Amino acid sequence: MDAHQFWHLLVLGSTLFAAAAVALLVLVPLVFEEAPPGLARRRPVLLGLIAVAGLLLLGEWLFAH
């Protein structure tokens, strides 16, 4: 596997994990009356990971292709 293929795997993986984090942040308040305490404490971490994945995807879009 060369560096370019590894880059694609990194972007794909981070994008999928970011989509899962968005799903958690959006769907948990709809399913439960209030967010579990663990999710409420880690909301900034999830938002940060979503931002990093978005930056990786943007970098892929602008610079790799």
List the chain domain ranges. 3-64
- pLDDT tens column, 23-64: 988 898 889 888 888 888 998 998 998 898 888 888 888 886
Q: Which long-range contacts (CB under 8 A, 24 or more apart) does 7-15 make?
A: 7/60, 7/64, 8/60, 10/56, 11/56, 11/57, 11/60, 14/52, 14/53, 14/56, 14/57, 15/53, 15/56, 15/57
Quote the pLDDT of residue 16: 92
- pLDDT tens column, 3-29: 888 888 888 898 999 999 999 888 988
* 65, pLDDT greater than 80: no
